[in-house]
Amino acid sequence: MLAAQPGGDGQLLGGVVVAERVEEGAALGGEEGGEVFGGHGSIVGDGPAPAGVGQSKEGGTAFAVSSGESVCRVPGCAAMQLVRQKGNKSQQGHRYAAGPRGRFGVAVAALLVAALGTACGSGDAGPDKAAKEKAAKAAGAAGALGAAEKAKAAQQARVVAAKKWGLRKTPLAAPPAPKEKPHITTRDGFEVEDQEEYPNVFTTIPTEDKVVFLTIDDGSEKDPEFLKMMQELKIPYTAFLSDYVVRDNYPYFKQMQAAGVTLNNHTLNHRYMPGLSYEQQREEICGQQDTIQKQFGKRPTLFRPPYGNYNQDTLRAAKSCGIKAVPLWNAEAFTNRMDYREWDRDLHPGDIILTHFRGKEDWKGTMPDMIRHVMKTVTDKGYAVARLEDYL
């Protein structure tokens, strides 16, 4: 017999107390492409598809399933789920306003699942002083125009790159990095107990800029074409690496880092965090911090738990390893579709997009195919991809 679970109104399912159902459930691919993980059955919501989200008193949680098309590479897959945040009548502006703590003070790991303008003047060839002064003046004027011209040249280069890489439209240029960083708080319903002591967990950056952020997880696929494409298109992204799929080719990620990409923590072995003890979670997270520091010379400040699942121990461990923030995601990109977390199935300013380092054996296409697809969606909707680190 199963022991009674704390919480009263939860359903017991595979050892997870389900405190409430997600409204408007629908099948979505998951962080790992949509398989049931951990042997749990699915929680069937009111929606048309077999997906659901769990919520436990312990803050562990959440999983879902879908009929996603891609294959899971690791044991245990979760899926992202459409969610309608309580009290979130407006999609804009106040989703991050500090609200009362979740009814149970619990985490819902909701998831489910160069234009280099080198002004080259040779200084020693001037025939006389006047000519030199004239040249200097002209250079000054050019400097004043420099920023606008550089931007123009950069966009021009992008047009060429977009054609070369088969993008239907040229990606929009992101606005300059905000001078003042947005005030980020943990998303309502995603808190663990005493959340204020731990790194914030969020899926969107509060901003009015028409930007989204691209984040890429795991690391199994190491496609040189992808690196080239992103560099030429100048599309920023942030990587969350799991060492077990990265360690066979650190140089690939060194190249990525050299191109300006920040390498962050996605644990050593991609385990389901809430199923581990505090000490085990600490080994997974701190171990990956140490590995990235050793291999790439920089200790990450961002951590993303595998499948987006976490509990209080996860955040406590992450903090003790030097993690400052825990960005999850609000949309997921595949080679042929986008999945959204919000009920409106759309992008919003500041949304974080998740995708994966995957190749043809995992999904129907290559990394460049995925980028072509996600950039079509993003650009059609009028968004630019900005650098996540500029907003943190």
Phi-psi group of 153: left, alpha or beta (phi > 0 → left; psi -120 to 50 → alpha; rest → beta):
alpha
| Residue 124 falls in which region: left (phi positive, over 0), alpha (psi -120 to 50) or beta | alpha
Single out the segment in contact with Zn ion by CB under 5 A; choices: 190-198, 205-213, 301-309, 373-381: 301-309
Output the smallest distance, CB 126 to Zn ion, in A. Answer: 60
Residues 208-227 that bind Zn ion (CB under 5 A): 217-218
Nearer to Zn ion, 188 or 283 (CB): 283
Minimum CB separation of residue 218 from Zn ion in Å reads 5
Instruction: Kindly list the distances between the CA atom of residue 358 and the CA atoms of 98, 110, 301, 363, 371, in Å, as whole numbers in the listed order.
Output: 36, 23, 24, 7, 12
| CB nearer to Zn ion: pick between 195 and 309 | 309
The residue with tokens 């995957």 is 358
For the range 158-166, what are the long-range contacts, defined as Cβ-Cβ under 8 Å and sequence gap of 24 or more?
158/233, 158/234, 161/232, 161/233, 161/234, 162/233, 164/232, 165/229, 165/232, 165/233, 165/368, 165/371, 165/372, 166/368, 166/372
CB 167 within 8 A of CB 372: yes
Report the C-alpha gap between 104 and 193 in whole angstroms: 9
Token pair 């360690």 is found at: 247
Per-residue burial over 200-219, b if 16 or more Cβ lie within 10 Å, else e, is bbbbbbbbebbbbbbbbbbb
Nearest distance from residue 78's CB to Zn ion, in Å? 9
332 binds Zn ion (CB under 5 A): no
What mask of x and - would describe binding to Zn ion in positions 71 to 100, judged by CB under 5 A?
Answer: ------------------------------
Find the part of the chain contacting Zn ion (CB under 5 A) among 19-27, 49-57, 105-113, 304-312: 304-312
Stretch that binds Zn ion, among 6-14, 165-173, 305-313, 323-331 (CB under 5 A): 305-313
Q: Quick one: 171 or 306, whose CB is closer to Zn ion? A: 306
> For residue 228, how many C-alpha atoms fall within 13 Å in the half-sphere facing its CB?
5
- Supply the minimum distance, in Å, between the C-beta of residue 238 and Zn ion: 14
CA distances, 270 to each of 245, 247, 274, 306 (Å): 9, 13, 12, 6
Query: Which residue number, 217 or 339, has a Cβ lying nearer to Zn ion?
Result: 217
Q: Give least dist CB 304 to Zn ion, A.
A: 7
- The residue whose Cβ lies closest to Zn ion is 217
Tell me the CB-side half-sphere exposure of residue 349, using CA atoms within 13 A: 15
**In the complex, least distance from residue 245 CB atom to Zn ion, rounded to whole angstroms:** 9
Interface with Zn ion: number of residues (CB under 5 A): 3
- Interface with Zn ion by CB under 5 A: which range of 45-53, 57-65, 299-307, 332-340? 299-307
- Beta carbon of residue 267, minimum distance to Zn ion (angstroms, whole number): 8
Cβ closest to Zn ion, residue 32 vs residue 193:
32
Closest CA to 199 of 209, 187, 210, 186: 186
What one-character DSSP code corresponds to residue 327?
E
Identity of the residue, 351 or 362, whose beta carbon is nearer to Zn ion in the bound complex: 362
Minimum Å distance from CB 3 to Zn ion?
A: 32
Query: Which one, 174 or 325, has the nearer CB to Zn ion?
Result: 325
- Contact range with Zn ion by CB under 5 A, out of 20-28, 151-159, 303-311, 327-335: 303-311
Contact status, residue 368 vs residue 226, Cβ threshold 8 Å: yes
Least separation in angstroms between CB 257 and Zn ion? 19
Q: Give me the residues that bind Zn ion (CB under 5 A), please.
A: 217-218, 306
